[in-house]
Amino acid sequence: MTRALLALAALASVIVATSSQGAGAANGSIRGRVELRRPLAGIERRPGVADLGAQAARDLTDRLRSVVYLDTAPRGAFDQNEGGRAIMDQRNETFVPHVLAITTGTTVEFPNSDRIYHNVFSLSKPRTFDLGRYAVGRSKSVRFDRPGIVRVFCDIHSHMSAFILVFNHPFFDMTDGEGRYRIDNVPPGTYNVVAWNEGVASEPRAVTVPDGATTELDFSLR
């Protein structure tokens, strides 16, 4: 995770343009699949030794979704961020989605859809916040203005955790249930691409996107 954080921070401060974008060139795509070669069980509750009875069943966290992003992005990509809105729900003692990838300037809503209190907070350097306790039907929001990886927790339920990956460019994608991703609208050029899952990032892999074509790039994360 540290490596990915550093990569993102470097991305924020130094724009390394490896693009050979030319006037009139058609943008291309990068697509592929991320294979996870390590067991990823759902996050369990801490053993509730002091509980008077078993806790109610909850949803297990989907930890299989990965994020693939350009480690180096085209010059000018950082000027295009308008921000937007995203939602990270708190449902059945789980953050849904477990991983959220957004651009800087995005405001994330944290509605509480449970009948119990939650208390969303983060101590991550790109964005520290604590939304306090609020009940079902209410929502609070946080705007993310700095790129980096933000770990999100619930102060009441230690098994609730999530990731928000904040990019200052739009060249990233979340994998689907089968690990597939697709980054579109990439200007022709050579880039370093990284796959990330649950705090583990791959080595950056160089890929060249031809004019108007799609490039295949698969990852294997251990």
215 contacts 207 by C-beta, under 8 angstroms: yes
Site for another protein contains 130 (CB under 8 A): yes
Q: Hey, which residues between 161 and 200 contact another protein (CB under 8 A)?
A: 161
Quote the least distance from Cβ 58 to another protein, whole Å.
13
56 near another protein (CB under 8 A): yes
Cα–Cα distance list, 112 to 61, 89, 157, 196 (Å): 17, 6, 13, 27
> Which of 135, 176, 203, 212 is close enough to bind another protein by CB under 8 A?
135
Interacting residues of 129 by C-beta distance below 8 A, sequence separation 6+: 120, 121, 122, 142
User: Contacts with another protein: how many residues (CB under 8 A)?
Assistant: 34
Q: Is 123 among the residues that bind another protein (CB under 8 A)?
A: yes
String marking each residue 18-47 x if it binds another protein according to CB under 8 A: -----------------------xxxxxxx
Q: Does 14 bind another protein (CB under 8 A)?
A: no
Q: Write b or e for each residue in 100-116: b if 16 or more Cβ atoms lie within 10 A of its Cβ, otherwise e.
A: bbbbbebebebbbebee
Determine if 208 is a binding residue for another protein (CB under 8 A): no
Residue in 69, 110, 144, 153 binding another protein, rule: CB under 8 A: 153
Listed in sequence order, the residues at least 6 apart from 181 whose beta carbon sits closer than 8 Å to its beta carbon are 31, 32, 33, 34, 66, 68, 173, 174, 175
Binding site for another protein (CB under 8 A): 41-54, 56, 115-117, 121-123, 128-130, 132-136, 151, 153, 158-159, 161
